[in-house]
């Protein structure tokens, strides 16, 4: 129970109800025309028709009454109301419900990578952090590297975080604490990144500082429509890095769960290469991988 004591003031219409701790920084003042939607204490006190004004500052609540009643008849009742409200809302304001970030874990084709998926967007685009040294501007990645020594890489894209571990642990040993850590980080409203994520459309702009050629754009559009959804569902990303028209070779940048994945070569040859040959038979004959 929050203990509240009653103290008279020099103004006979005003009584102070003193708490054992500081209630608010600064001060708050309300009358019956005030918006008290976020102040449950004021809402409850104004239910009494004889309460005219409420003043909250430091460690006390001052209540001004009408002349129609005497303090000896109402002070104790108001004290009980204030004690109950401080117990439920110790900082006066109604606590806003925190936005929930339920996270679930998914295996990926790469056994070193686990994908942690949110029902809401985390970033618009993607961020790839290959080491702790690269994480300074990305607080979520920095926090993961600091908390878990086995984290090797972090890839954040849209609504998921793909974490690459080293060989010191197995995912069944650490999956739950990593999932909880990411959920708590997001739940607390912490900033995910201090830098702008890369755009999905043409990451090559940031990688080699140029736009796609017309041929590269055609290849990229096919990747975006027919390949990217399945790859990103597995926690990875495959983007066109460059295209050599003389050798008809498309070099692919592998990121996230795709980078270093044992099955990535088979995916490239058996899947992406065949798709590009089918849609662009005169342009593409071979696909090569470059790990991000």
Question: Residue 60 is inside which H or E element, if any?
Answer: strand 60-65
Instruction: For residue range 232-244, list pLDDT tens digits in order.
Output: 665 667 777 788 8
Categorise residue 131: left if φ over 0, alpha if ψ from -120 to 50, beta otherwise. Answer: beta
* pTM given for the model: 0.47
pLDDT at 3 over 90: no
**What mean pLDDT do residues 107-113 have?**
84
d(CA 51, CA 28): 16
pLDDT of residue 225: 78
d(CA 61, CA 83): 11
**What mean pLDDT do residues 218-228 have?**
80
Spell out a b/e string for 102-125, using b for 16 or more CB atoms within 10 Å of the CB, else e: ebeeeebbbebbbbbbbeeebbeb
Residue 283, phi then psi, degrees to nearest 5: -110, -40
Between 285 and 44, the more confident residue is 44
Structure tokens at 180: 């909880």
Least confident of 48-62, 77-91, 258-272, 274-288: 258-272
At residue 188 the predicted structure's pLDDT band, cuts being 50, 70 and 90, is: confident
Crossing angle of helices 139-147 and 171-187, rounded to 10°: 140
**What mean pLDDT do residues 204-233 have?**
71
Instruction: For residue range 149-187, list pLDDT tens digits in order.
Output: 999 999 998 889 999 999 999 999 999 999 999 999 998
Structure tokens at 32: 């019956």
At residue 89 the predicted structure's pLDDT band, cuts being 50, 70 and 90, is: confident
**What mean pLDDT do residues 102-106 have?**
89
Question: Residue 255 is inside which H or E element, if any?
Answer: strand 249-256
Spell out a b/e string for 237-263, using b for 16 or more CB atoms within 10 Å of the CB, else e: bbbbbbbeeeebebebbbbbbbbebee
User: Do the Cβ atoms of 53 and 33 come closer than 8 Å?
Assistant: no
Contacts of 221 (CB under 8 A, 6+ apart): none
d(CA 220, CA 211): 12
User: Do the Cβ atoms of 220 and 214 come closer than 8 Å?
Assistant: no
8-state DSSP, 198: B
pLDDT at 116 over 80: yes
- What mean pLDDT is reported for the chain? 84
Using CB atoms within 10 A of its CB, is residue 25 exposed (0-12), middle (13-18) or buried (19+)? exposed
Please tell me the number of Cα atoms within 13 Å of 178 on its side-chain side.
29
pLDDT at 90 over 80: yes
Closest CA to 163 of 115, 233, 129, 118: 115
Between 17 and 208, the more confident residue is 17
Least confident of 76-80, 133-137, 262-266: 262-266
- Percent of the chain past pLDDT 90, that is, above it, reads 46
Alpha-carbon torsion, ordered 119, 124, 125, 131, to 10 deg: -80
Least confident of 32-36, 136-140, 204-208, 277-281: 204-208
pLDDT at 110 over 90: no
pLDDT at 192 over 90: yes
- Percent of the chain past pLDDT 70, that is, above it, reads 84
């Amino acid at each position: 129970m929050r203990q509240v004591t009653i103290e008279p003031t020099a103004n006979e219409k005003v009584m102070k109800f003193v708490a054992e701790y500081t209630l608010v920084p600064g001060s708050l003042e309300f009358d019956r025309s005030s918006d008290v939607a976020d102040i449950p204490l004021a809402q409850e006190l104004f239910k009494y028709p004889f309460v005219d004004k409420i003043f909250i500052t430091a460690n006390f609540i001052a209540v001004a009454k009408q002349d129609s009643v005497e303090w000896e008849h109402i002070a104790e009742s108001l004290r009980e109301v204030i004690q109950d409200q401080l117990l439920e809302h110790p900082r006066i304001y109604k606590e806003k419900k925190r936005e929930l970030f339920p996270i679930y874990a998914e295996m990926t084709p790469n056994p070193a990578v686990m994908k942690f998926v949110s029902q809401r967007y985390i970033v618009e685009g993607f961020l790839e952090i290959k080491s702790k040294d690269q994480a300074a501007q990305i607080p979520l990645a920095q926090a993961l590297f600091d908390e878990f020594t086995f984290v090797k890489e972090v890839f954040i894209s849209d609504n998921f975080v793909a974490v690459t571990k080293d060989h010191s642990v197995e995912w069944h040993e650490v999956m739950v604490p990593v999932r909880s850590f990411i959920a708590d980080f997001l739940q607390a409203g912490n900033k995910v990144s201090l830098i702008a994520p890369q755009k999905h459309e043409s990451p090559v702009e940031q990688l080699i500082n140029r736009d796609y050629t017309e041929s590269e754009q055609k290849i990229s559009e096919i990747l975006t429509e027919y390949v990217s959804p399945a790859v990103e569902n597995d926690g990875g990303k495959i983007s066109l890095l460059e295209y050599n028209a003389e050798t008809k070779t498309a070099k692919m940048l592998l990121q996230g769960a795709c980078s270093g994945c044992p099955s990535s070569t088979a995916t490239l040859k058996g899947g992406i290469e065949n798709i590009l040959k089918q849609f662009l038979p005169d342009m593409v004959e071979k696909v090569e991988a470059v790990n991000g």
